[in-house]
């Protein structure tokens, strides 16, 4: 079940990236909620917020290691719980951005709130998963 959740998130991420890449012009913002939320197609060659540009090999290698470690850990999880969900979210996001880097050499971003760097579904998935995992580590006696 947990791998199905990751696959659904990954499918959504890749589908939206495909649709927006075909229908938006690079860097041209489309207002959804004027002065608050836009769709802006951005090609991010760096890490989060565009830092560390042109280190694609390092990002790809890191993502491969993370994906392998998460899959290994998820195979040992006996039931769907917050720990497994947090790993599934991180896994889906890591694979989503990894696919972009391998296909294009950059990550496709599009959510633009103007007060934060442009991001995507995979980034959101990783962030939510990491916050959940941090909460579990800090406040639960047993993560599994």
Looking at beta carbons, which pairs linking 131-137 to residues 24 or more positions away fall under 8 Å?
A: 132/82, 132/85, 132/86, 132/89, 133/83, 133/86, 133/87, 133/90, 135/82, 136/82, 136/83, 136/86
CA distances (Å), origin 126, targets 78, 122, 138: 22, 6, 18
Beta bridge partners of 41: 26
Q: Which of 47, 59, 25 is nearest to 119 (CA)?
A: 47
100 as an active site residue: the answer is no
The answer to whether 131 touches 55, Cβ cutoff 8 Å, is: no
| Annotated catalytic residue within 13, 100, 109, 112 | 109
123 as an active site residue: the answer is yes
| Annotated catalytic residue within 13, 100, 112, 123 | 123
Q: Supply the residues annotated as catalytic.
A: 109, 123
């Amino acid at each position: 079940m947990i791998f199905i959740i990751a696959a659904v998130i990954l499918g959504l991420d890749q589908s939206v990236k495909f649709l927006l890449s075909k229908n938006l012009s690079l860097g041209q913002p489309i207002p959804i909620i004027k002065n608050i939320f836009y769709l802006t197609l951005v090609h991010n060659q760096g890490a989060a917020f565009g830092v560390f540009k042109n280190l694609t090999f390092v990002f790809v290698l890191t993502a491969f290691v993370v994906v392998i470690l998460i899959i290994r850990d998820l195979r040992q999880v006996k039931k769907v719980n917050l720990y497994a969900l947090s790993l599934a979210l991180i896994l889906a996001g890591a694979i989503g951005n990894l696919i972009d880097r391998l296909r294009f050499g950059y990550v496709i971003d599009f959510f633009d709130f103007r007060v934060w760097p442009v991001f995507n579904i995979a980034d959101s998935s990783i962030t939510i998963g990491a916050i959940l995992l941090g909460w579990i580590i800090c406040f639960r006696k047993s993560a599994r």
